[in-house]
Amino acid sequence: MADLTESTSADSRTPILELDGIGVWLSGREILHDVKFEVRPGELVGLIGSNGAGKTTIFRVILGLLTPSSGRVLIVGGPRPRRNRSVGYVPQKIALDPDMPLRSRDLVALGLDGHKLGVSLPSRRRREMVDEMLHAVDAMPFANARVGSLSGGEQQRVMIAHALISRPKLLLLDEPLANLDLRSEQEVVELLAEIAKEHGVAVLISAHDLNPVLPVVDRVVYVAHGHVASGTTDEVVTTDVLSQLYGHNVDVIRLHGRILVVAGPSPRADPALMEQLGRLSNPVDDTVAV
């Protein structure tokens, strides 16, 4: 796979993405509070939180679709220009019409110049760029297939190729593992790790479950009720930090390389009963969140 970035950053410690004290209020409700984290070149950062935690809102702020009421977003050290070619984005919901006459390669090509006026005439150079990108995400076998009729994992690869073909320095993926089977989940995670490691792209990926991304993330940003805690998994995913983030007792249990975040005994609950209910079987989404 060819080099995906236009030029390798001189100083690899300069963050590609920097959020500083972001606050968001929507319909009189505080959705994000003092959100602060950064992503550096070649880093894969997991944005972890249950439904409604504020992950998509964070992406919308980064993309400039939502103006925060406080704080600032810096991309490659500067403010975000309106047509930012240095940010690639894969939205949470991609509902592609299965009957639509559009091949995977057409969708990837739209990543190159879909925002411009005029018709793109087929050229060898364009074709090569698209092919190279389809190769990179291992989507060549379905390059000419109707993109809407592909499986979730296949569509996810095509979407990643679409986002990467403009050679962004930052790649944002909103819940790319939702609705994927276990195998495609693992394949997509490995692909993202490769993009970050080998090509120096800063990757921010949101997920409601920490475990699928656990093997590849450098750091995590944990989101709960619009508050975040960021750092390495060992720093953030601990009983103390998460209990403080959620505002009540949370137990973090490491089991066979997996991390389970479960509701701890609340003052009102009978501790003996909690034991009987088997806390291990309750993942965070069912008990702690919302």
Partner 1 sequence: MFAGFMINTWIVASIVAIVAGVVGFFVVLRGSSFAAHAIPNASFAGAAGANLVGASSIGGLLVFAVAGALGIALLSKRGRRDVATALAIVLMLALGALFLSFSTEYAAETYSLLFGEVLGVSSSELAPTVVLALLAVAAVATFWRLLLLTSVMPELAEARGVHIYRVELVFLLIVALVTSLSVPVVGALLMFSLMIGPPAAARSFTTNPFVAVVLAVSLALTTVWIAIAVSYMTTWPIGFFVGVLGAAFFLTGRAFAAWRGNRAHPRAARHSQVVAA
Ligand X SMILES: Nc1ncnc2c1ncn2[C@@H]1O[C@H](COP(=O)(O)OP(=O)(O)O)[C@@H](O)[C@H]1O
Nearest distance, CB of residue 159 and Mg ion, angstroms: 16
Among 7, 11, 28, 117, binds partner 1 (CB under 8 A): 117
Dist CA 9 CA 7 (whole Å): 6
Q: From Mg ion, ligand X, partner 1, none, which one binds at residue 119 (CB under 5 to 8 Å depending on kind)?
A: partner 1
Structure tokens at 238: 């601990």
Which alpha helices (DSSP H) does 94-252 contain, by range?
Answer: 104-113, 124-136, 152-164, 182-199, 233-236, 239-246
- Contact between 23 and 71 under an 8 Å Cβ cutoff? The reply is yes
Q: For residue 213, which of 43, 41, 70 has the smallest C-alpha distance?
A: 43
For residues 227-255, b (16+ Cβ closer than 10 Å) or e, as one string?
bbbbeebeebbbeebbbebbeebbbbeee
Separation in Å, CA 254 to CA 22, 193, 238, 261: 31, 23, 10, 9
Residue nearest to Mg ion (CB): 56
Among 35, 48, 56, 129, binds Mg ion (CB under 5 A): 56
Site for partner 1 contains 110 (CB under 8 A): yes
Site for partner 1 contains 178 (CB under 8 A): no
Cα-based angle 265, 230, 239 (whole degrees, multiple of 5) = 20
Binding string to partner 1 for residues 87 to 106, with x set by CB under 8 A, is what?
Answer: --xxx-xx-xx-xxxxx--x
Nearest distance, CB of residue 132 and ligand X, angstroms: 32
Candidates 21-29, 176-184, 214-222, 239-247; binding stretch for ligand X (CB under 6 A):
21-29
Site for ligand X contains 281 (CB under 6 A): no
Site for ligand X contains 56 (CB under 6 A): yes
Site for Mg ion in 77-106 (CB under 5 A): 92
Q: Is the dihedral of CA 232, 236, 237, 238 positive or negative?
A: positive
DSSP 141: G
Task: Enumerate binding residues for partner 1 (CB under 8 A).
Answer: 63-65, 82-84, 89-91, 93-94, 96-97, 99-103, 106-107, 110, 113-120, 140-146
Task: Enumerate binding residues for Mg ion (CB under 5 A).
Answer: 55-56, 92
Task: Enumerate binding residues for ligand X (CB under 6 A).
Answer: 26-27, 29, 31, 49, 51-57
